Amino acid sequence: MANLRAHHFTPEQDEYRAAFREFLERELVPRQPAFDEAGIVDKELWRLAGKHNFLLPWADEQYGGLGLTDIRYEQVMTEELCRVYDSGFGLSLHSAIVAPYLDAYGTPEQKRRFLPPAVSGETILAIAITEPEAGSDVAGIRTTAVEHEDYWVLNGAKSFVSNGINADLFVVAAYTDPEQSHTLGLFLVESDTPGFSRGRKLDKMGLRAQDTAELFFDDAIVPKANMLGDRRDGFKAMMSMFAQERLVVAMVCAAGAMSALDTTVAYAKERKAFGRSIGQFQNTRFVLASLRTKVDAMHALVDRCTMAHVAGELTPQDAAEAKLFASEVLGEVVDECVQVFGGYGYMREYPIARMYVDARVQRIYAGTSEIMREIIGRSMEL
């Protein structure tokens, strides 16, 4: 695969990768066990990432960013995070999924206020769309926002919010006119908002270091200045952002599969059975050869979609295909890899065990595989 991807990244992106790798080895790797144990990443790591220009690298220099708008910088970071078996530093969510809402729909004042602290890591971002009664069916959400003279009053509950405990600023979807079901709006809700509270940190099977939470809005008072975009265009805004979100998830899947395969190939060379390394059994070689082929095919699709994004040509169908294929293949890859590890693959101290459980959610969040098939199927005008 090295050959097929040889020209995918620029020398500048390779340099950025080297710096990020060094940062992760120094700042993340030693603390990983503690983060996994606590179920949350320390806020200090966010600030350090900001200090070293690893948050929102695409942001304009006037907001403290580097102006590196090419999404391959994000891809580099997902690959390096997977290389060290990260299980929850929600950096991509912050930089490449939530912050772009501010960039695309924020007023100049909102950008001036919220982008610089997001770049520096002082403000951690999250997005709250899903509700207990509405996941795939986004239009089914029940949170409402009622307009008053200077503020909006939000009522409702959100679930499964990534970065939900650490976050200081949430993009929240709510209906702005309870009488009209199509009037969804987006709000920037700050964590010290009166009437806003967080529920418990959810106990997930994987992504142990990722803080996922419930949120509650009980007559939460949100200033009018914190409405993001048009009060009726929230649905359209979300749809416009989903393609990038799905591409980023596909990148994470491809990076995760590559990392799982690399660690398994290394293990197959070392582990002995019947007087030889297990990699010398034809079955192991065939399994690993099939996985190599699948991972390379996954990268070919994801890299191609990445370049379509760079050219401004990525369609929602392209992104859905990349997300569907990459997350499904990742599931197959980690399953086969655990098998190659035998009993050790079932032990959490082996990264492959963590990768196996962490991979499962990729087929669920950012739109399930079934919803991806719906999107692709619809585009075929059957």
Ligand X SMILES: Cc1cc2nc3c(=O)[nH]c(=O)nc-3n(C[C@H](O)[C@H](O)[C@H](O)COP(=O)(O)OP(=O)(O)OC[C@H]3O[C@@H](n4cnc5c(N)ncnc54)[C@H](O)[C@@H]3O)c2cc1C
Question: Can you tell me which of 31, 52, 113, 204 binds ligand X, judged by CB under 6 A?
Answer: 204
Cβ-contact 269, 224 below 8 angstroms:
no
For the bound state, the minimum distance from the C-beta of residue 21 to ligand X, rounded and expressed in Å, comes to 26
For the bound state, the minimum distance from the C-beta of residue 103 to ligand X, rounded and expressed in Å, comes to 18
- Closer to ligand X by Cβ: residue 227 or 238: 238
For the bound state, the minimum distance from the C-beta of residue 294 to ligand X, rounded and expressed in Å, comes to 23
245 among known catalytic residues: yes
Candidate list 190, 245, 313, 374, residue with the active-site label: 245
Q: What angle do CA 102, 206, 367 make, to 5 degrees?
A: 45
Long-range contacts of 21-26 (CB under 8 A, 24+ apart): 21/80, 21/83, 23/48, 23/49, 23/52, 23/54, 24/80, 24/81, 24/83, 24/84, 24/86, 25/84
136 interacts with ligand X by CB under 6 A: yes
- Closer to ligand X by Cβ: residue 27 or 328: 328
Looking at residue 53, the DSSP 8-state letter turns out to be: T
What is the end-to-end Cα distance of the chain in Å, rounded? 35
- Closer to ligand X by Cβ: residue 203 or 381: 203
Query: In 84-138, where does DSSP find H-type helix?
Result: 91-92, 99-105, 108-120
212 interacts with ligand X by CB under 6 A: yes
Instruction: Name the helix (H) or strand (E) containing 330.
Output: helix 316-341
Region of 4-12, 248-256, 288-296, 359-367 interacting with ligand X (CB under 6 A): 359-367
The pattern of x and - marking residues 94 through 133 that bind ligand X according to CB under 6 A reads: --------------------------------xxxxx---
For the bound state, the minimum distance from the C-beta of residue 42 to ligand X, rounded and expressed in Å, comes to 19
Cβ-contact 207, 361 below 8 angstroms:
yes
Region of 8-16, 79-87, 331-339, 369-377 interacting with ligand X (CB under 6 A): 369-377
Question: Can you tell me which of 213, 361, 372, 375 binds ligand X, judged by CB under 6 A?
Answer: 361
Distance (Å, whole) CA 294 – CA 298: 6
161 interacts with ligand X by CB under 6 A: yes
For the bound state, the minimum distance from the C-beta of residue 288 to ligand X, rounded and expressed in Å, comes to 29
304 interacts with ligand X by CB under 6 A: no
For the bound state, the minimum distance from the C-beta of residue 149 to ligand X, rounded and expressed in Å, comes to 30
Distance (Å, whole) CA 68 – CA 340: 40
Question: 155 has which bridge partners?
Answer: 144
Binding residues with ligand X: total (CB under 6 A): 21
Distance (Å, whole) CA 107 – CA 229: 8
What sign for the dihedral angle of Cα 38, 39, 41, 42? negative
368 interacts with ligand X by CB under 6 A: yes
- Closer to ligand X by Cβ: residue 228 or 268: 228
Question: Can you tell me which of 160, 196, 217, 267 binds ligand X, judged by CB under 6 A?
Answer: 160
Q: Which of 340, 358, 350 has the alpha carbon at shortest distance from 253?
A: 358
Catalytic residues: 245
Question: Which stretches of the chain bind ligand X, using CB under 6 A?
Answer: 126-130, 135-136, 160-162, 204, 207, 212, 361, 364-365, 367-368, 370-371, 374
